[in-house]
Amino acid sequence: MKKIGLLSVGAYLPEEKLTNTDLEKMIDTTDEWITTRTGIQERRIAKNMLCSDLATRAAQDCLSGFHTHPKLIISSTSTNEYRFPYQASTVANRLGLIGIPAFDLNAACSGLIYSMAVAHSMMMTGNITTALVTAGERMSYFVDYQDRTSCILFGDGASALLLSSDHPEHEILTIELGTDATGSDCIIMGGPEQDFYFRQAGKQVFKFAVQKMGELIDSLKKKIGWKAGERFFILPHQANKRMMESVAKDKGIPLENFVINIEKYGNTSSASIGLALKEAWEKNLFQKGDYLFLIGFGGGLSWGAAAIRW
């Protein structure tokens, strides 16, 4: 069977920071509340950039140094500035990737994993050897900065992955997707009138995320035949540090096995797993043979998990 690997990861973060101290001046909150309840200290805000600008920069970062011309581009986003042109078309145009299939995919915060899964299966069944997946989100456009329960959580950013069957060394072993659609209205954003700004059933989402992350870790381990003692890292969607601490405790997994960078960027929706992956890769955290478990969850209520062998 064809093997498909992760050849490169790219990232882009806008320069402007919104710190907890800044938020203290805007709403009735404290740095201490935000830090203890979420682990977030600051986030990035794209002031003069569009969502597709962020995705384009991440894609450029991902492709830099590679003389490759992807044969497919999928852009995960819930926050593009237009419906048309859809984001993948804008990104492809700017990168000069003309004539290839390009489309957007919205699965909220699980969108990167969903996009990986679609790219992976198109590569498996077709003649596509290289695919670019971007995840660009400008959450700040949809956040009500008077709502202290949600505006503290989000930031803007983008990541991108390059998948290749010519370079299968960081092989994608398995991908699992799902949606508990009974929770479809637990997270709402971008609708008409009062449904425009982000809002959620915070406690319900928290419970769902912790339970689902735990289940997905067990399920991935089983599917890949993980054996006790083998090294693994979890790259979870960065929604709340307390969620990762709960999963670590429930599953008896050391917190050091979780790649966490939420303190700097907050929740960047579908971009967050790629941002964490980029940072960990640059720090040489992974050794040959390690397993990486990428775990997304969010609106839908959706989930997606991928296992990669380093």
**Which residues of this protein are in contact with ligand COA, per CB under 6 A?**
29, 33-34, 37-38, 109, 148-149, 152, 200, 202-203, 205-206, 239-240, 267, 298
Q: Whose Cβ is closer to ligand COA: residue 75's or residue 267's?
A: 267
Q: Cβ–Cβ contacts within 10 Å for residue 66, how many?
A: 14
Q: Whose Cβ is closer to ligand COA: residue 298's or residue 304's?
A: 298
- Distance between CA 227 and CA 292 in Å, rounded? 14
Strands (E), the chain: 5-12, 17-19, 42-44, 73-76, 102-105, 130-138, 156-164, 171-179, 187-188, 199-200, 232-236, 291-298, 302-309
* Alpha carbon distances (Å) from 48 to 15, 87, 141, 197, 247: 11, 17, 11, 20, 37
Q: Cβ–Cβ contacts within 10 Å for residue 94, how many?
A: 15
Q: Whose Cβ is closer to ligand COA: residue 91's or residue 271's?
A: 271
Q: Whose Cβ is closer to ligand COA: residue 113's or residue 239's?
A: 239
Sign of the dihedral defined by the CA atoms of residues 90, 94, 97, 99, in that order: positive
CB of 135 to ligand COA, least distance (A): 13
CB of 193 to ligand COA, least distance (A): 22
**Nearest-10 crossing angle of helices 111-125, 272-282:** 80
Which candidate in 120, 167, 170, 237 is catalytic? Answer: 237
Q: Whose Cβ is closer to ligand COA: residue 50's or residue 301's?
A: 301
Residue 267: active-site member: yes
CB of 57 to ligand COA, least distance (A): 23
**Nearest-10 crossing angle of helices 241-251, 31-38:** 30
Which candidate in 109, 151, 167, 240 is catalytic? Answer: 109
Q: Cβ–Cβ contacts within 10 Å for residue 268, how many?
A: 32
CB of 16 to ligand COA, least distance (A): 20
Cα angle for residues 95, 98, 102 (degrees, 5° grid): 85
CB of 201 to ligand COA, least distance (A): 9
Active-site amino acid positions: 109, 237, 267
